Chains A and B, each alone.
Chain A
């Protein structure tokens, strides 16, 4: 009996150990399933077959520049797969208020929802995985990964790039430019911000960059660009000729875009802006310089200024567009509150309202922001989203589009984006609402338009 009892005890103990081991194994398996995401890789043919289907969404998880058209990370051709939406892994690293809330909103707006099969592609084997992990936390289940290099290698498979994507450059391109010295061709890098003190510049800048104060290209109280003769002096002082490759950037990109548009108007043929501003340079872990670089002047610009006069227009031309709506549209790049005349948006502009007949073209939450045109990392928003937004606003891209805002900063950035997207017949109405409202004989509207 004693032996039997002992045997039963041993048997029970053994069973317990086996059970607990099994149960531990199961738990470990469960945990593993929860922490590491198991996603299948999708083949090119399979992906091709599912493009355009309502229950499939193709997501480009690479840097915004790769989506725009740059061949990065060893990809043979740049651009994105047709119908793909962008959701860059870089956005997950951005530190902003309510980041998760904003990203959730972005997912929704791009149609990336849990009920769909989601294909996430990259070229470095990391971006797609990072987004997969993020989406898994959001409850996504049917996810597939794809290496876009395979797609890019096959010349028969289309990749879409913006017609002028080169105008907006990635930080790696700027770094290459510095290293290869633009292959002996003249180039200049400028940090653009307001003020002589240039705090942003002194805190650290791209090696070799020189500071441009926006007051070097515009003057008050209208804040239009300077007279052509003065602009020529500005170019010569900064060593810019029509053939210089000019790269502009800033902690906030808006002043850089403003200056870029003026340089294009003057006739500089190769003007580039760093996509995402100085943050993108810092995120690339490239060298940062603190030395103050002096301006090196040149003696001749190389052409008569303005060589590209249609790029910026003034009040008479804006009035002509306003008077003949069949040929052109004044596109208002201000907040809805500014457009409808609830606020002027500026301490130095008293009048509220808009030029009569102008169409709202979106902007941002206040007079210094452009959330409707920028991603969370301040890179350019997807072109198809910008164009469909304008389509909904009733903006006809076949007409001449004259973008304006308060004093020409926000509108300059949007004009540059429209140029990147290849929209033809576009211009900046420099004086904007500030100039328009100064002459009380100019027709003005307030409130919501008849057709929003």
Chain B
């Protein structure tokens, strides 16, 4: 698919982006305009990642929390949802979210927050790294606060699961970032 067939499509895309008000930023403009160069395909992939893959992954990262918010809202409108959440709450409390496990999760999040803070202080030199680590620290702290103070929510355990997904994916991002950095150095 590279080469002959993708070139017209790429040029069309470049023109579309060039005329779009959304892409007025100088950095983006330069990147977009360089599609016409020989390295166009690579840049296109990079652009695809920037505009589609990363937002999509971010959306997936927060999908658990989005689902929990939807469930929490529906629980006020639909009896079936409310009863399902009460049933799941009871089920979770006796399996994955016993008081002991909740304590362990809180400690783990606390440790995560400390590690990320230390990394931030010692290795947080680039802008990207700082943002990533800050998000991780914030997610851990919010997770702890949430676990301790939001037990009244109908979708409480779904929120915790959502939080865990956010934190785990954030750790993956950080690891990927560090790996890439070590490769380049």
The answer to whether A and B come from one shared complex is yes
Q: Which A residues have a C-beta under 8 Å from some C-beta of B?
A: 194-197, 199, 214, 220-221, 223, 346-349
- B88 to chain A: which residues have CB within 8 Å? 348
User: Which of chain B's residues has its CB closest to A348's CB?
Assistant: B87
Interface size class, chain B: 10 to 19
Residues of A within 8 A of B76 (CB): 195-197
**Are A348 and B79 neighbours in the complex by a CB distance under 8 Å?**
no
Report A374 CB to chain B, min CB distance, Å.
Answer: 20
Minimum distance in angstroms from B155 CB to a CB of chain A: 14
Q: Tell which of A195, A197, A347 touches B84, judged by Cβ atoms closer than 8 Å.
A: A347
**Bound complex: CA A42 to CA B88 (Å):** 64
**Which of chain B's residues 58-94 have a Cβ closer than 8 Å to chain A?**
76-77, 79-80, 82-84, 86-88, 90
Select B80's contact among A196, A197, A199, A347, beta carbons within 8 Å.
A347
5 inter-chain pairs at a CB distance below 8 angstroms, sorted by A residue, are A194-B82, A197-B76, A197-B77, A220-B87, A221-B86
Question: B residues within 8 A CB of A197?
Answer: 76-77
Q: Assess whether A223 is in contact with B83, with CB atoms less than 8 Å apart.
A: yes
Q: Is the CB of B84 within 8 A of A221?
A: no
| A105 vs B76: C-alpha distance when bound (angstroms) | 39
- What separation, in Å, do the CA atoms of A199 and B80 have in the docked complex? 16
Q: Measured between alpha carbons, how far is A189 from B79 in the docked complex, in Å?
A: 23
Residues of A near B79 (CB, < 8 A) are 194-195, 214
- For B77, list chain A residues within 8 Å (CB): 195, 197, 199
Report B-chain residues with C-beta under 8 Å of the C-beta of A196: 76
User: Which of the listed residues A194, A195, A197, A348 has the most CB atoms from chain B within 10 Å of its own CB?
Assistant: A348
In the bound complex, how far is the Cα of B87 from the Cα of A380, in angstroms? 32
A223 CA to B82 CA, complexed, in Å: 12
User: Which residue of B is nearest A223, CB measured?
Assistant: B83
Q: Roughly how many angstroms separate A197 CA and B79 CA in the complex, as a whole number?
A: 11
- How far does the Cβ of B90 sit from chain A's closest Cβ, in whole Å? 5
Shortest beta-carbon distance from B47 to chain A in Å: 43
User: Distance (Å) between the CB of A113 and the closest chain B CB?
Assistant: 41
In the complex, A95 Cα to B100 Cα: how many Å?
A: 56
**CB < 8 Å: which of A195, A199, A221, A346 contacts B90?**
A221
For the complex, what is the distance from the CA of A220 to the CA of B89, rounded to whole Å? 11
Give 5 closest A-B pairs by Cβ, nearest first.
A348-B87, A194-B79, A220-B86, A347-B84, A348-B83
Residue of B79, B86, B90 with highest tally of chain A CB at under 10 A:
B79
- Chain A residue nearest in CB terms to B83: A348
Q: How far is the CB of B97 from chain A (nearest CB, A)?
A: 15
Distance A221 CA – B87 CA, assembled complex (angstroms): 6
Q: How many angstroms between the C-alpha atoms of A172 and B142 in the bound complex? A: 58
Q: Measured between alpha carbons, how far is A194 from B75 in the docked complex, in Å? A: 11
A75, B87: Cα distance in complex, Å: 52
- Please report the C-alpha to C-alpha distance between residue A271 and residue B87 in the assembled complex, in whole angstroms: 32
Q: Return A362 CB to nearest CB of chain B, in Å.
A: 23
B75 to chain A, nearest CB (A): 10
Known: A197-B77, A347-B80. 5 other contacts (CB 8 A): A195-B77, A220-B86, A220-B90, A348-B83, A348-B84
Assembled-state Cα–Cα distance A346/B86 (Å)? 13
State how many angstroms separate the Cβ of A255 from the closest Cβ of chain B. 9
Which residue from chain A places its CB closest to the CB of B86 in the assembled complex? Answer: A220
CA distance A221 to B86 in the complex (A): 6
| Complex interface: chain A residues within 8 A of B80 (CB) | 346-348
Docked pose: A283 CA to B49 CA in angstroms: 60
How far, in angstroms, from A346 to B87 measured CA to CA in the complex? Answer: 11
Q: How far is the CA of A346 from the CA of B84 in the complex (A)?
A: 9
Output the nearest chain A residue to B75 by Cβ-Cβ distance.
Answer: A195
Among B76, B80, B83, B84, the one with the most A-chain Cβ atoms within 10 Å of its Cβ is B83
Min CB distance B86 to A, Å, is 4
In the complex, what's the smallest C-beta–C-beta distance from A31 to chain B, in angstroms?
53
Q: What is the bound-complex CA distance between A294 and B88, given in angstroms?
A: 34
Docked pose: A49 CA to B99 CA in angstroms: 78
| Nearest CB of chain A from residue B11's CB, rounded to whole Å | 52
